[in-house]
Structure 1
Amino acid sequence: MRKSQTAFIGLTRTQGGAYDGNAAPGAAPWATNLGVEWDMPGVAGLTLSGRVINTSSQYVDNANKLKIPNWTRVDIGARYATKVSATPVVFRAGIHNLFDKNYWEGVNSPGTITLGAPRTFMLSATIDF
């Protein structure tokens, strides 16, 4: 029976070897995205959508002493495809960060982190001509 091993690639060739073997800042070991769409029965052209995004914790610095926690975000949306005066039109509405969760989204560079956006409402229309 074999033992399972987790693949890990750490920092290498750092100055003086000070951080060799540490996790790279901003490299989340796990990121999971799950999206679904559902065409509404009885309402031609209407599609509902949802998405869950999960990202594991990440180190902020090369020394692996500062870490941002894991986070999960939920987004929802809808689109309606129709014709207006024989011209195809798609209307879209969406909400990102449905539950208005405060979270650190990621590490841009060692020591620099990005705050996740608050609940965001979006509306758009696409017209083919």
Structure 2
Amino acid sequence: MRPDTFYAAIGGHETFVRLVDEFYRGVADDPVLRAMYPEDDLGPAAERLTLFLEQYWGGPTTYSDTRGHPRLRMRHAPYKVNPDARDRWLRHMRAAVDSLDLAPLHRAQLWDYLERAAFSMINSFEE
């Protein structure tokens, strides 16, 4: 692991696992978001998100090595991601980010990316 990455600075794999696990605790009880996950077990989705975030922030390239280019909008296209779904996603992710003991600058950097990503995934304005 390169020591000069955001990934390393916030604690590497363990931090991203905690973030994603906390996020999916919220998703599991959210009827709108839970319906977007066809699998009974959220574990595979959590693994994919962990790998994606780790790679994005300078960690291992396992995501691309196993799944190819992220193509986030294409992968989310089958699901109705409207402003309500975005806001729910952000609510659970905010709780997850806040559960970590990150330095204020790191928290702000992470949140800025997550918020921009959530807004970019909107593909419907239907209720």
Structure with higher Rg: it is 1
TM-score, structure 1 length as denominator? 0.24
Structure with the greater relative contact order (CA < 8 A, sep ≥ 6): 1 or 2? 2
Higher helix fraction (1 or 2): 2
